[in-house]
Amino acid sequence: MPLQGRRILLIIAGGIAAYKSLDLIRRLRERGAAVRVVMTAAAQRFVTPLAAASLSGDPVYTDLFSLTEESEMGHLRLAAEADLVVVAPATADLLAKMAAGLADDLASTILLAADKPILIAPAMNSRMWLHAATVANLALLERRGVERVGPNAGPLAERESGPGRMAEPLEIVAAVEQRLGGGALSGRRAIVTSGPTHEPLDPVRYIANRSSGKQGHAIAAALARLGAETVLVSGPTSEPDPPGVRVLHVETAREMLAACEKALPADIAVCAAAVADWRAEAAPQKLKKKNGPPPTLKLVENPDILATLSKPGNRRPRLVVGFAAETENLIEHAQAKRAKKGCDWIIANDVSASAGTFGGDANTVHVVDEAGVEDWPPLSKRDVAARLATRIAQFLAQKAAE
The residues annotated as belonging to the active site are 209
Number of Cα atoms under 13 Å in the Cβ half of residue 43: 34
First to last CA, the chain: 18
State the Cα–Cα distance between residues 172 and 395, nearest whole angstrom. 17
What's the CA gap between 397 and 402, in Å, rounded? Answer: 9
Nearest to 94 by CA among 78, 112, 80: 112
Specify the DSSP class assigned to residue 249.
Answer: E
| Spatial CA neighbour of 147 closest among 395, 392, 389, 382 | 382
Phi first, then psi: give them for residue 120, nearest 5 degrees.
-110, 145
Q: Quick one: three-class SS letters along 265-304?
A: CCCEEEECCECCCEEECCCCCCCCCCCCCCCCCCEEECCC
CB-count burial class (<10 Å; 0-12, 13-18, 19+) for 107: buried
* Contacting residues for 283 by C-beta, under 8 A, at least 6 apart: 201, 202, 203
Q: Are 251 and 198 in contact (CB under 8 A)?
A: yes
**What letter does residue 377 receive in the DSSP assignment?**
P
Neighbours of 20 (CB within 10 A): 21
Peptide linkage before 295 cis (omega within 30 of 0): no
Separation between Cα atoms, residue 352 and residue 328, nearest integer Å: 8
User: How big is the chain, counted in residues?
Assistant: 402
